[in-house]
Structure 1
Amino acid sequence: MSFTINIKNMVCQRCNLVVSQIFSDLGIDLLSVDLGQAVVVEDQLSGAKLEALDNALQANGFERIDDKKGGLLERMKTLIIKSIHHQDHFNLSINWSDFLADELNYDYSYLSTLFSSVSGITLEQYIIRQKIEKAKEYLIYGQLSVKEIAFKLGYSSVAHLSTQFKKVTGMTPSRFKSSRPMASRKPLDNIM
């Protein structure tokens, strides 16, 4: 029988490697690992191993989530981060409410209410902030124009991207690009 462990702060493929190594070092066989989750054989998790796992995860900046709502919140964040930051092609026509409801098997209104009550911002604001962080990345590397970035992130126009960008960062994309942008990037797991 398998058991899913939800893990906070797993936001990149490197995180998967670190978490896989933690499980391996502890002699816990992984069935799979993905952003925000590890699946193990259930009978491998004794009290002592669970405590050792918690300590090793915390030492590496991760945290096991053992409550259902906290796990669901992390799964929402992980799906959003994965869709925006780790896909080769962002789905321009993504309907976030349908996508999250389908992926998590919960009604979107429940997911939205849960997210807002725990995070202090709406799910929509979180998605916007993640998209703006991705726009910052594109601007820093300078390989795309603002128009191309707007299209790539699913904005209806450059003006729409610029308005949201300024609302989140306090400056236009052009001003951001000409400033010293590296200091204003945030780790993906700290965006709120």
Structure 2
Amino acid sequence: MVSLRCKMVVEQELRKLGLRYVNVDLGSIEILGNITDFQRDQLRKNLKACGLELLEDKRRIMVEKIKALIIEMVHYSDELPKVNYSDYINEKLGYDYTYLANTFSEVKGITIQQYIILNKIERVKQLLLYDELNLTEISYKLSYSSVSHLSNQFKNVTGFAPSYYKKRKKKRIKYLENL
């Protein structure tokens, strides 16, 4: 789902250009009628000024949808889906997973699985710093098979063990607070 602020900005820009639309949603705008080259260029320019980008390449749009779904899944849901990620993504986006995976890899240069891992590790970092959950609870929350699996993956991505990362970040925060 598009954030409310972004959606309002996009809708305002469409109205300014006299474009009638049906729907503004993640990665897509359904416009009634045709859009002129001038309107397209103006829309692109106005959205860029607001920090948004007009994507017309269907492959890039698909990749943005995949990324948003993964970010929502990892960072904003209470529990990760209990089904295989490929099945989850396939079901949510309604495309064959092989097509999605190939498109994602070609556009981003990494696999969907690598992108999920990077996001899970970012989430682990957040949870470690919040200090509300221990590593076992974090491992369970993010659907790792074990604490050692989480720790190994964390070290492979960051170069640090989770406990060392947590100590290091807390020392840095404390140092910054004392400045």
Q: TM-score range by the shorter chain?
A: 0.7 to 0.9
Tell me the TM-score normalized by structure 1: 0.75
| Residue in 1 that maps onto 2:43 | 53
Aligned residues: 168
- Asked if 1:73 is matched to 2:63, the reply is yes
Structure 1 residues without counterparts, runs of 5 or longer: 1-11, 184-192
1:122-141 to structure 2, matched below 5 A, reads: 122-141=111-130
| Residue in 1 that maps onto 2:147 | 158
Rg larger in structure: 2
**Greater strand share, structure number:** 1
Q: Is the 8 A contact 1:30 1:38 kept in 2?
A: no
- SS of the counterpart of 1:63? coil
Structure 2 residues without counterparts, runs of 5 or longer: 173-179
The CA distance in 2 between the partners of 1:38 and 1:110, in whole Å, is: 19
- SS of the counterpart of 1:64? coil
1:46 positional shift: 4.2
- Which structure has more relative contact order (CA 8 Å, sep 6+)? It is 1
**Greater helix share, structure number:** 2
| Identical positions, percent | 38
Deviations 1:90-119 (A, max 9, x none): 22x131111222222322122212222221
Range moving further from structure 2, 168-177 or 57-66: 57-66
- Asked if 1:174 is matched to 2:174, the reply is no
1:1-192 to structure 2, matched below 5 A, reads: 15-27=3-15, 31-34=22-25, 36-43=26-33, 45-91=35-81, 93-180=82-169
Tell me the TM-score normalized by structure 2: 0.80
